[in-house]
Structure 1
Amino acid sequence: MNRNVTYLVKAGVIGALYVVLVAVFSFSSFGPIQFRIAEALTILPYFTSAAIPGLFVGCLIANIIGGAVIGDIIFGSLATLLAAYLSYKLRKFEYLVPVPPVIINTIVVGILLKVAYGFPEGLLALMSGVFLGQMVSAFGIGLILIKALKPFSKFIQD
């Protein structure tokens, strides 16, 4: 199969999975305390660069469908894009791959919850809620996902 087609299919599947996971678990995907199970997919740049646009577009669509404010749609999605790119750059260090999504989303989403949504909690409290959710999703579930996908890596790696 053509490399470009394969790349687009991988990116599309990753984006679609992200959207579906956010939609199915919408009760915990939005709000001052966020636990997005879809964030476990942020480890996928470990396997393929197609995860970078896939996660970005998936987050963008999920935020639109989920009723996010425009600032969150733009900056939350850009935060995911940056985190995915940095995770890809760290792919040689398996246990560091989840670090960019945790740090970037803690800061960006925390600020968005305060500024764009006007939640009354303090900024540090909002960031702490995002941090905890990211740690469980990206580190906890994400690292388990890396281990589970390794036997299939020849099918998903670049």
Structure 2
Amino acid sequence: MNNKTNFLARTAVVASLYVVITLSLFFLSYEAIQFRVSEIMVLLAFIDPLYIPGLVLGCFMANLMGPFGIIDALFGSFASLLALLMVVKTRKWFGNNLKSLVIASLWPAIFSFIIAFEITVVFGSEDSFWFWTVMVAVGEFVVITLAGVPIFNWIIKNDGVVRLLKFNK
């Protein structure tokens, strides 16, 4: 399979998986504290930055089909894009190790203020900006750092699995 075909196929699979996991766990994915299990996949960008387009596209589509529609799709994918870019930067800065993975896993929680802005300013929630920042950050932290880091720590220690996940072998 050539590189362009490989990229398009993997991007489509990642975006589709993100959407299917998010929507199949709808009751967890769109609540005040979002335990969006599909967010574990953001750590794929730690392995290869070429996962970013599929993850952003998946987030966009899942939010578009969610209860808040296009506005959530735009804000959510923007927050995801920033977090994913920082995941990649973190690996470049600190290396391919557990410490770096833990730091990288925190970026989605750090950028939760973007979603809080959306909820409080755009949708006019009566709860405070800081309330929503904490609520979104807690969900991101639990799913990505507490659940995702152990999984991806095992992955990055296994060269065979990493080779399978890399776009260009």
Q: TM-score, normalised by structure 1?
A: 0.91
User: 8 Å contact 2:101–2:153 — kept in the other structure?
Assistant: no
Shift of 1:45: 0.4
Shift of 1:24: 1.1
- In 2, the alpha carbon distance for the partners of 1:102 and 1:128 equals 9
Larger Rg belongs to? 2
Q: Give the letter for the 2:4 counterpart.
A: N
Q: Does 1:85 align with 2:85?
A: yes
Deviations 1:44-98 (A, max 9, x none): 1011122210110000000111132432211211111121122112222222221
- In 2, the alpha carbon distance for the partners of 1:148 and 1:120 equals 42
Q: Give the letter for the 2:121 counterpart.
A: V
Shift of 1:99: 2.2
Q: Does 1:139 align with 2:149?
A: no
> Which residue does 2:103 correspond to in 1?
96
Deviations 1:24-50 (A, max 9, x none): 111121133222111111111011122
Q: Give the letter for the 1:109 counterpart.
A: I
Alignment of 1:111-150 (within 5 A): 111-150=117-156
Q: Give the letter for the 2:33 counterpart.
A: I
Q: Give the letter for the 1:156 counterpart.
A: L
Alignment of 1:1-158 (within 5 A): 1-91=1-91, 92=95, 93-104=100-111, 106-150=112-156, 151=158, 152-158=161-167
Runs of 4+ aligned structure 1 residues displaced above 6 Å come to none
Shift of 1:114: 1.3
Structure with larger RCO (C-alpha < 8 A, sep 6+)? 1
- In 2, the alpha carbon distance for the partners of 1:74 and 1:17 equals 19
- In 1, the alpha carbon distance for the partners of 2:137 and 2:79 equals 14
Percent identical across equivalent pairs? 28
Worse-superposed segment, 67-76 or 9-18: 67-76
Shift of 1:125: 1.1
Q: Give the letter for the 1:61 counterpart.
A: M
- In 1, the alpha carbon distance for the partners of 2:148 and 2:11 equals 18
- In 1, the alpha carbon distance for the partners of 2:73 and 2:29 equals 14
Shift of 1:5: 1.4
Q: TM-score, normalised by structure 2?
A: 0.85
The total of aligned residue pairs comes to 157
